[in-house]
Structure formats: structure tokens, C-alpha cells
Structure 1
Amino acid sequence: MSEFLKVSDNFLRKPTIEFLTEEPPAELHIEIIREGAGAEVKPGDQLSCHYLGQVWNGNHFDNSYDRGAPLDFTVGVGMVIQGWDQGLLGLREGTRVVLSIPSSMGYGDRGVPQAGIMGGDTLVFVTDIVKVN
């Protein structure tokens, strides 16, 4: 169990997050909630992932579960924030993972204010790796 947060283990269902500490990890923190047995994620792979994004101990800013469709993207090539590009590599299809992403690997000092992400915010993504191509 993480010293930072607790996440529900209902693969492909919208997760719940309970924060166990006020202070986020200083570095990229990767915690596998459910280990998948499918293909391993490598740079350049096309992924299909469900996710919930939240500011550390703050508001949810986005999730794919409510839309009913996972996000498709190429990993490891700069299509997504650096925390995803690095944090998902080596994991397997069918995995639920929590990524605590420091600002430097997310949206930096500029943030995305229209989404409720301020400069310097640590982000938390619960990500279900649905498919690896």
C-alpha cells in the first residue's frame, strides 16, 4: 500500500482516490494497483487508456470514464505529458497504475488554468491500460 494515496481497484471503472498525505512525492511516483498480463508498453506503441486526472489533493480536471471512451495516443514520443511518456513504459496491457506527476513532468509553471491546473501543481492520473498496439 502506498504511503501517499489509496486507489480503488476496479479496472475499467471510474476510480476513487484517497490522499493519505498533504505533500505529494517530489519525483515521478508510479504505483501499480492491478498488474496486467498483456503486451508490454514500449516507446512508439499506440495505447488505448482510460484515465482520471486530478490535481494532488484537489479537483478532478478530466476523465475518460464519464465519456465512455478511452484515449488513444502514441506513448514515448511527446504526444502526452512527460509523466505519462515515462510512467507507462514497461507496464502491461490490463494494468491499472497511479502516476503522481510533478509539475516539471506535467504542465510546469504555466499550468492549464482553464482546466483548474495551476502552475506548479502535482498531477495524479489513475490509468487503465486497455490496449497496446
Structure 2
Amino acid sequence: MSTVTAVPLRPIAKGSLTKLWVGIGLLAAAGVGLAWHTTAAQVAMATPPAEFLARNAKRSDVKTTPSGLQYQVIREGSGPRATAQDVVLVDYDGKLANGQTFDASARHGGPATLPVGGLIPGWVEGLQLMNQGAKYRFWIPPELGYGPQGAGDGVIPPNALLVFDVDLQAIMPRNAMGMGGMGMGGMGGMGGSPHGGMPGQ
């Protein structure tokens, strides 16, 4: 006749099982969310810019110019409108289609001072749509950005769609700063900036 040794088990406190399952559920949801975000970013980068822009153009809050530049007014300005001859003080954040920031004025210590006429075509056109005090989001097709060569030693891939949030803080005549066509403000010559590596410059 065999005897079975009983191992005393501590009873599970009331509600602990529920907490355990809730914890497991939250971990699973976080894992699914992370996987979805990673997949969505990869899909965004793999989507041809023309396809993305065609879909984006259907949004009621997005306007498309004849050149193909798309923009959304986040905040209207009430000051003067920028021209190609002006120098502007801007805060900006530049992202790739997957949402990855490749350059931002904050990385260089704050707002950047830039000559409107010396930037990539998407910026030249976009800034001239803005009044001082405005904040816009721009979707810049490759032909108005860095084209087939990309920029920043691979930071911006060839034929990349660019997304910029631009806050136009001040407008000054070019000669007010004695820039003579130069002046990077906080840009530091980064190849992925709206100034550095511009096609045809």
C-alpha cells in the first residue's frame, strides 16, 4: 500500500488570478502593438511616394499644389507672408515616411535661421504659402526634396518622401542679416537638413 505525500499549497488570494490574467493580457497587447507599429513603419517605407501622396490627397484637411507639394495648416499665421528673398526663423521637425525623425531644429539648439531661396524646392514653395506665426505640415515628394541621390550619407534614402512640421516664427529681409545667400542657423550643415545636399545646388 503506497502513501501519497500531500504538498501543502498556499491558497491563491482572491483576485490574484484575475490580476495575473490581466497582466498577461496587457503584455500580449503590448507585444501586438509593437509588432503592428514596426510592420506599419516598414509598410510606410515600402509604399511608393506617389501612392502615399495619392491616398493622402483624399484627406479633407490636406491641400495639394500643382507641383505636387502637399500641406496641412496646423495653425494659421497673421503676420506677413514669406518670399523667396527673405530669411526666416523656423522650428522644424523632418521625418521619413515611417515616422523616424532625420533632422530637427531642436537638435541644433532651437529655431534655425534659413534663406528661403536657398532651400530644397519643397521648402522654397512651402514657406511662401505661410504667414509669420503659422505652423504647417508638408509632405514633400522626392522630386521636390533630395531626389534619387538622397542625402545625409544615407540618412535620407533615395527617392524618399519627406514630412516636415514647420513653425514660421519670424521673417526678415535677406540683407537684414548680411547673409549674402548663406546662413544655416542651427542647421550645422547636416546633409538631411532642408538646406544641405539640395539637388542642383
Q: Normalising by the residue count of structure 2, what TM-score does the alignment of the two structures yield?
A: 0.52
How far apart are residue 113 of structure 1 and its match?
5.1
How far apart are residue 62 of structure 1 and its match?
0.5
Task: Identify the structure with bigger relative contact order (alpha carbons < 8 Å, sequence gap 6+).
Answer: 1
Equivalent AA in structure 2 for residue 103 of structure 1: P
Give the share of equivalent positions with the same residue, in percent: 32
Q: Verify the 8 A CA contact 1:61 1:115 in the aligned structure 2.
A: no
Q: Distance in 2 between matches of 1:69 and 1:54?
A: 17
Q: 2:123 matched to 1:95? A: no
Q: Distance in 2 between matches of 1:131 and 1:115?
A: 32
Q: Verify the 8 A CA contact 1:53 1:60 in the aligned structure 2.
A: yes
Q: Distance in 2 between matches of 1:43 and 1:31?
A: 21
Q: 2:161 matched to 1:122? A: yes
Partner SS state of residue 87, structure 1: helix
Would you identify which runs of 4 or more consecutive aligned residues in structure 1 move more than 4 Å?
Answer: none
Q: Distance in 2 between matches of 1:97 and 1:58?
A: 17
Q: 2:105 matched to 1:64? A: yes
Q: Distance in 1 between matches of 2:75 and 2:106?
A: 17
Alignment of 1:1-133 (within 5 A): 22=44, 23-25=51-53, 27-75=68-116, 77=117, 79-112=118-151, 114=153, 116-133=155-172
Equivalent AA in structure 2 for residue 85 of structure 1: V
What is the count of residue pairs matched by the alignment? 112
How far apart are residue 124 of structure 1 and its match?
0.4
Please provide the CA RMSD for this pair: 2.0
Q: Distance in 1 between matches of 2:134 and 2:122?
A: 17
Q: Normalising by the residue count of structure 1, what TM-score does the alignment of the two structures yield?
A: 0.76
Equivalent AA in structure 2 for residue 86 of structure 1: E
Which of structures 1 and 2 has the bigger CA Rg? 2
How far apart are residue 24 of structure 1 and its match?
2.6
Q: Verify the 8 A CA contact 1:59 1:116 in the aligned structure 2.
A: no
Q: Distance in 2 between matches of 1:130 and 1:115?
A: 30
Q: Distance in 2 between matches of 1:64 and 1:115?
A: 20
Structure with more strand by fraction: 1
